[in-house]
Amino acid sequence: MFSSRFFPVGICTLMLLSFWGAVAGAEEGRAPADADAIRAGITRIVTLLDSPDYAKSTLGGEHVVLAYQLAQGREPSPEEFLVLSGLYGEVTFRRSDILAMALGGTGNNPTWDQCRNFLNAKREKDFQGSAEARAIAARLAQTCASQVVAKLAMNVPYAPSPAPAAKAALDPTLPNELYNIYYGYLHAHSQLSLDATGDPLYAYQYARDMGHMDYFSLTDHAEFLVLWPWDHKWQQLKDAAAAAYEPGRFVTLWGFEWSNPVLGHINVFNSEDMTSCLENFGLPEFYHWLAGRPGSFGLFNHPGLYNALGLELAKLRLYDAVADQMVGIEVANTNDGFDRYYYSGSWDTDYSYWDEGNLKEWRLSPVIGQDNHHADWGTMNTFRTAVLAKELTREAIIDAYENRRCYATENSNLHLDFRSSGYPMGSRLGAMPRAFTVKASTAAAEGFEQIRLFRDGLLLQTQTVSGNPVEVTFSDPAYSANAYYYVIVTETVDTDGNGRNDEAISAPIWFEGAPPPPPPPSCGALALGLSGTTGGNGRGDWTLLLLCVTLLAGYGCFQRVAGRSSRACS
């Protein structure tokens, strides 16, 4: 029994817990009691900020400064100014969106409490340009890029990340496994990205019905998903993927694009939450965030597009903590195919961006993303990322990406199987023979003309082929260093009209350790070799067999003579 003198305290405690529970519930997405009043107050400010009159009176950079002064009581950091000025200058990013991001403070959605407190302290009349704001904006515009470059050039290592799940040193996949081939891609946008169009659920349905794809994912810009607390954009995206998922018919994933205007763009999939480049600006910070979500995986997007400061994706420096999670890089994007992203070299070398990453010891498969910003998901072109998977389920598609069983194809009918000792593309093998089998076919009428084998990004062997299907073998028995190998198959048609026949690029097969030495010669092996020298008529086989029998008989006679001599001496 509780003493009566403790009863009021207990009541107060329960009331306090109930209050904090209500607040926590509101912060988790449930609207507070005064939600309508908060939304109405913010709407009045939004209307002002997005009006033509305000745009005439306040420059874009000046507004970024003013938004941080009013929302945070400080000027924006160089990174914040660089990101928000870039977003406002390049896409349909509104001034009210800048306020939402400034109010959130660390790149997160502003909370109901933050909106309420802001309305209690500020009014529409506070949004007026000033000489001070213009001076700060001018200084930041002149120096923020150099400050960001200097900060990133310090190359500070990221904080220790949660250790990713340990994986076997070599590929655990069994050889000679059979897979189905499924076509799709994992880079597209909807109206949730302010620079794109289309309802998210409609995008998934269109990709299925009009694009005729087996799997698909939206990856709206994280920076555009971070807006007002009543928008719930990230949840809308995940809900659309859940609603369109039909195992066995159509697989949907969900993702977001970390869109850094200085360091480049990365897509992340299968995460419950998201992050923007305002929250985690640098690559070390982003990789640290990703490493803390070991069930998620990422892709490097359209390399070469955001290298104005010479820092894009930090030129693919390896970060061990997420080496297993970063599974691919685009070799085609929108209507820009292999000519731009594979054959034209990378930032500083003649190697492709993809090879640059693999030479720096990432294990990246080649992928394609249409990066749709219009309502043409899957119909923009026939570019696809094909995956080798056991079944058409979300788990199987994720498994294919995580194990690099992917190939990039300009033809959505092209089937490609690249193996070594029965192990499929994407495998990580040890001291095994470097012998390869390539099988290619297409459901259309066109055939094939050429298959090329590459080692570490350099052409190793070429075989001319004809017909459909085709099958060839390659080998590289003398090379003993660690290496990765992949193939490019070329068809006889140019459906995209780029002046080069359609192609597909396989994921690599990685080798670690020297191949085993050849077996010692034997009578049978030597006989087989002699058979070849005699035109295959069998005389070499019989000759060597007779020689072996003669040698064995002679050895037996020697043993008997030696035995008699030994006994005579004893």
Domain with residue 483: its CATH number is 2.60.40.10
86-122 pLDDT, tens digit per residue, is 777 665 678 999 999 999 887 678 999 999 999 999 9
Torsion sign across C-alpha atoms 76, 81, 83, 87? positive
In our burial notation (b when 16+ CB lie closer than 10 A, e otherwise), range 357-383 reads bbeeebbbbbbbbbbbbebbbbbbbbb
Q: Do 91 and 140 fall within a single domain?
A: yes
3-state SS class at 310: coil
- Closest listed residue to residue 255, CA positions, set 279, 296, 219: 219
pLDDT of residue 90: 61
257 part of a folded domain: yes
506 part of a folded domain: yes
166 part of a folded domain: no
pLDDT of residue 525: 40
105 part of a folded domain: yes
261 part of a folded domain: yes
Least confident of 209-218, 358-367, 445-454, 514-523: 514-523
Average pLDDT over residues 111-139: 93
- Residue 207 · residue 214 · CB < 8 Å: no
Average pLDDT over residues 439-458: 94
Q: Do 353 and 393 fall within a single domain?
A: yes
165 part of a folded domain: no
Residues 6+ apart with CB under 8 A from 485: 420, 434, 436, 453, 454, 455, 460, 476, 508, 509, 511
184-236 pLDDT, tens digit per residue, is 999 999 999 988 999 999 999 999 999 999 999 999 999 999 889 999 999 99
Average pLDDT over residues 240-253: 98
Q: Do 351 and 468 fall within a single domain?
A: no
Q: Do 111 and 134 fall within a single domain?
A: yes
Q: What are phi and psi of 125, to 5 degrees?
A: -65, -15
pLDDT over threshold 90, residue 519: no
Q: Do 483 and 507 fall within a single domain?
A: yes
CA dihedral 363, 367, 373, 379 (to 10 degrees): -170
For residue 226, give both structure tokens.
Answer: 């971070």
3-state SS class at 340: helix
Q: Do 359 and 338 fall within a single domain?
A: yes
pLDDT of residue 150: 83
pLDDT over threshold 70, residue 464: yes
DSSP string for residues in 72-129:
HSSPPPHHHHHHHHHHHHHSS--HHHHHHHHHHSSSSPPPHHHHHHHHHH--GGG---
Q: Do 313 and 430 fall within a single domain?
A: no
The vertex-309 CA angle with 304 and 315, nearest 5°, equals 50
- Above pLDDT 70, what percent of the chain? 81
Q: Do 384 and 441 fall within a single domain?
A: no
Q: How many Å apart are CA 404 and CA 385, to the nearest integer?
A: 11
487-511 pLDDT, tens digit per residue, is 999 999 998 888 999 999 999 999 9
- Residue 253 · residue 223 · CB < 8 Å: no
Average pLDDT over residues 469-474: 98
Q: Do 396 and 434 fall within a single domain?
A: no
344-397 pLDDT, tens digit per residue, is 999 999 999 999 999 999 999 999 999 999 999 999 999 999 999 999 999 999
Instruction: Quote the domain boundaries for residue 6.
Output: 1-30
pLDDT of residue 522: 53
- Above pLDDT 90, what percent of the chain? 69
Rg (CA), the chain: 32
CA dihedral 473, 474, 478, 483 (to 10 degrees): -120
3-state helix, strand, coil in the chain (%, to 5): 40, 20, 40
561 part of a folded domain: no
For residue 295, give both structure tokens.
Answer: 């069930």
565 part of a folded domain: no
Q: How many Å apart are CA 33 and CA 208, to the nearest integer?
A: 41
- Closest listed residue to residue 329, CA positions, set 148, 486, 187: 187
Return the H-helix or E-strand segment holding 355: helix 353-359
The CA distances from residue 306 to 187, 259, 262, 403, in Å, are 17, 10, 6, 28
- Residue 268 · residue 292 · CB < 8 Å: no
For residue 174, give both structure tokens.
Answer: 């069994």
Q: Strand pairing partners for 485?
A: 455, 509
Q: Do 194 and 241 fall within a single domain?
A: yes
Torsion sign across C-alpha atoms 474, 477, 479, 481? positive
Q: Tokens 């023979």 map to which residue?
A: 433
Q: Do 489 and 400 fall within a single domain?
A: no
Q: Do 24 and 35 fall within a single domain?
A: no
Q: How many Å apart are CA 7 and CA 305, to the nearest integer?
A: 66
Domain tally for the chain?
5
